[in-house]
Structure 1
């Protein structure tokens, strides 16, 4: 085996390792960011809408001096914020 053959073999090995590393850890993707953004939006929207509908139902069923709809809307937003915070924490790891 000559020196040139040995050098070529090393280069091929280095390229193969780089390709494997790139495949194993692709890095950040713009599409992943868009997906995370959508998931966070749904994490806030769904509890908020559930709170609104539950509040409307309770306003008709058991009227109070306060509005169930507004109270549960705010509760849904807070719950959604905690869920979104959890998602952000998982994505940051």
Structure 2
């Protein structure tokens, strides 16, 4: 609970110092979140395709690794948003 209060005080002080975020800043945050989710998913697809081509397994590894990358990207984005 103390961490939550400290985080709230830190955010309030930053808001007092910087003011209300601009529209450009909000759009930049949305862009960063998109890349944080998409890049790990694409990496999972590329690695999965490479493994599938090497082993001749169709899409056996591509699907699970894409989902794993998507989950990792969503978790990273969630953590990034809660640190802000």
1:29-58 deviation per Cα after TM superposition (whole angstroms, max 9, x unaligned): 211111110000000110011000000001
Unaligned runs of 5+ in 1: 1-21
1:61 aligns with 2:68: no
Q: Give 1:62 shift.
A: 2.5
- Greater Rg over alpha carbons, structure: 1
2:48·2:59 contact (CA, 8 Å) conserved in 1?
no
2:52·2:59 contact (CA, 8 Å) conserved in 1?
no
2:36·2:77 contact (CA, 8 Å) conserved in 1?
yes
RMSD of Structure 2 on Structure 1 (CA): 2.1
1:30 corresponds in structure 2 to: 23
Normalising by structure 1, report the TM-score.
0.66
1:80 aligns with 2:73: yes
Q: Give 1:28 shift.
A: 2.3
1:70 aligns with 2:70: no
Normalising by structure 2, report the TM-score.
0.72
Q: How many residues align?
A: 70
